[in-house]
């Protein structure tokens, strides 16, 4: 399986609204972008890459790491997804979380 922290960083840093956009950022140099698929309704180049992107996003969503992506809505990270980012893991170990900075009087 592809690198989950890399995928989460791509989602955090870009305005991703579709599986195709995600796939372009995740696998920009893949040979799949050059394959032509003809399924009887006209030829399409790179169609399988959009399917791969959608499958990967579905796995991230099933793990509760992302939300959105319906009806061209921006895909964003959940709190659980933010915790899986490499830099966030180190801050969490030190006891520093984003909510501490937003609400310092939190119990």
Query: Domain map of the chain by residue range?
Result: 4-102
User: Do residues 59 and 26 touch, judged by C-beta distance below 8 A?
Assistant: no
How far, CA to CA in Å, does 98 sit from each of 58, 66, 80, 83, 88?
A: 26, 17, 12, 10, 9
What pLDDT score was predicted for residue 10? Answer: 95
Residues 51-95 pLDDT 10s: 999 999 999 999 999 999 888 899 999 999 999 998 765 555 555
User: Do residues 66 and 57 touch, judged by C-beta distance below 8 A?
Assistant: yes
Quote the CA–CA distance of 49 and 81 in Å, as a whole number. 23
Residues 85-104 pLDDT 10s: 987 655 555 555 444 444 44
Judged by DSSP in three states, 28 sits in: coil
Residues 31-52 pLDDT 10s: 988 888 776 777 778 888 999 9
What pLDDT score was predicted for residue 62? Answer: 94
pTM of the model: 0.75
CATH architecture of 4-102: Orthogonal Bundle (1.10)
């Amino acid at each position: 399986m592809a690198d989950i922290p890399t995928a989460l960083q791509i989602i955090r840093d870009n305005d991703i609204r579709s599986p195709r956009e995600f796939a372009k950022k995740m696998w920009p140099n893949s040979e799949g972008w050059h394959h032509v698929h003809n399924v009887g309704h006209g030829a399409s180049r790179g169609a399988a890459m959009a399917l791969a992107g959608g499958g990967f996003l579905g796995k991230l969503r099933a793990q509760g790491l992302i939300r959105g992506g319906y009806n061209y809505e921006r895909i964003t990270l959940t709190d659980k997804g933010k915790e899986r980012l490499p830099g966030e893991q180190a801050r969490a170990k030190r006891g520093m979380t984003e909510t501490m900075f937003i609400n310092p009087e939190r119990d």
